[in-house]
Structure 1
């Protein structure tokens, strides 16, 4: 039986961590993720978990300690945001290349500069090429559910990769919503006991973790990382099917919202997807065939599935909550365009930068994107393909 609660996104993540009961949690505080280790450390102090909590001197040390614990054979995790993730940069690549199934709760926040502590996806997008699995959450419920599923995906023998569960800073992390929790015993059974095949503290199998990779070996290591990411797609779907059986909630690569007959589709990630759905509903009432594709698994990117879902759409708008400074498109826009190109699609695509540094995202602002898509169809040309939304004059 589910347990109805009212929790913030940070409380939801900390609750999932308590139910998972990892062996080691190492963390350093940074807004807006600070509450996650704060709540979890109280669970440790109160004896609600038997985890070892390691308060470290920096985020680089947090990821280093998490890597060390995972390599030793422990189920390990951490949490951070923004500049904290940037300070982990070197170690993010180490975690993936060492094939360590650790978990990171990332509360998305703008990277400096200029200095800003509000929500955008620049932290996660900067880490998108580090070899990690990345799941994005629309709301508190999804943040909780994604964290419950995370270790099942990352620890699978065909995967063995670190996983990043993302939620929008302040919007989800500090916003309180009704949420349905699973019972502790059910989560424990679902996640299962961690039984690593290879680990440093196994006296019967001496091994090295993270040795120097000479040129004859490093490309093969990268290819193995890529193959594991490809394997994670199938594993994620299998885990999602099992999760639905215990929760009733359905997850996949993405959520296709009113896409069956859509002429105009928005592709978006994170909390703004809920605002986009409201815009779609309002447009549908006016007879406009609007739809929305909310990406959940951004890395690895489910390219063929996205392209198949968008193949009959007239115009697509890709929404990037970051600026990648290539002057052509954002990360999500680039992936969607590539997927459509590989399928041979002639769907017109426009890419928007929105919500940077906490800029308001409203139903009206997202409705204007659909209005732009309708104009693109009427004119027969995209015009400016890379645009800023809600930019002050």
Structure 2
């Protein structure tokens, strides 16, 4: 765990006039709480272990009125991505979640979402791809999607999951590219730990309502994602690359705003004991906590 935990009270703390309540949450529910706070308007997902708890919670939030959102039930992960692509094209703030073979099944439409410059946020719970059949942690599923045009943000603990999910919506809507928030299967998705959940007022300060630059409009209809001859297509791809190259600076700026509101920050890359190191180990996810602990023992 990061040292920032030591600066948090046992129950709640106040930053900039707002407040945050500490709850014991599993990583999956840290995602669903962040999606609730983000006031997502349309969600669609197909359940797959170990992502299931995320979408179960969100469907309950829609049913009991904690969220004013539409949850679209579908028959596959491919259809889930198609549904949020349609909703995002219509100007809605959208979210989905998947894992492993579900992400692999989405592959075709991952390209569509990024090429259409849709700011979709997806929680991706890292899980191994078969064979052999394996429901446990492995990053092959997300790493295989590196070149689809999605930003990938890897999380170490439950607090970072919640915070990064909120930040992901701001980042996606700033650069108009989709974002994966990635968490480890079971080690993080199903592990309970203290998480400070901000109140809605502070979440709204950081993440205002989504205001799309372009959206489908029935009163002024036009075509989107139509035929693109090679020169136009090449320009589209260059624009996606240019947006990707802006992500680093945008992330830093957005995270400074996040720190102002919530009093926490993570950075794009955290270095530990690197100054005189002969060997540097680069890790993502919960393995970072293990490495941090081992370094403290050396």
Shared fold, TM over 0.5: yes
Render the CA deviation track for 1:163-184: whole Å, top value 9, x for unaligned. Answer: 0000001110000011111112
- Does 1:103 find its partner at 2:118? no
- How do 1:208-357 residues align onto structure 2 when only pairs under 5 Å count? 208-283=223-298
TM-score by length of 1: 0.70
Structure 1 runs not aligned, ≥5 long: 284-393
- Does 1:145 find its partner at 2:169? no
- Is contact 1:25–1:66 with CA below 8 Å preserved after alignment? yes
Q: Name the larger-Rg structure.
A: 1
Q: Displacement, 1:258?
A: 2.3
Q: Distance in 1 between matches of 2:43 and 2:177?
A: 17
- Does 1:169 find its partner at 2:193? no
Q: Distance in 2 between matches of 1:140 and 1:209?
A: 38
Q: Displacement, 1:203?
A: 2.9
- Is contact 1:80–1:107 with CA below 8 Å preserved after alignment? yes
How many residue pairs are counted as aligned between the two chains? 280
> What is the aligned partner in structure 2 of residue 11 from structure 1?
29
- Is contact 1:73–1:201 with CA below 8 Å preserved after alignment? no
Q: Distance in 1 between matches of 2:286 and 2:225?
A: 37
- Does 1:27 find its partner at 2:45? yes
- Is contact 1:138–1:272 with CA below 8 Å preserved after alignment? yes
> What is the aligned partner in structure 2 of residue 180 from structure 1?
196
Q: Distance in 2 between matches of 1:77 and 1:209?
A: 21
Q: Displacement, 1:264?
A: 2.6
Q: Distance in 2 between matches of 1:235 and 1:216?
A: 28
Q: Displacement, 1:282?
A: 1.4
- Does 1:40 find its partner at 2:40? no
Q: 2:112 aligns with which of 81, 91, 94?
A: 94
- Which stretch of the first structure deviates more once superposed, 262-271 or 97-106? 262-271
Q: Displacement, 1:202?
A: 6.0
Return closer, same or farther for 1:91/1:201 CA change in 2, 3 Å cut-off.
Answer: same
Report runs of 4+ in structure 1 exceeding 6 Å deviation. Answer: none
TM-score by length of 2: 0.91
> What is the aligned partner in structure 2 of residue 72 from structure 1?
90
Q: Displacement, 1:65?
A: 0.2
- Is contact 1:97–1:131 with CA below 8 Å preserved after alignment? yes
Render the CA deviation track for 1:106-143: whole Å, top value 9, x for unaligned. Answer: 01101112211110101100111100110000111111
Q: Distance in 1 between matches of 2:218 and 2:152?
A: 30
- Does 1:199 find its partner at 2:228? no
Q: Distance in 1 between matches of 2:189 and 2:178?
A: 22
Structure 2 runs not aligned, ≥5 long: 1-18
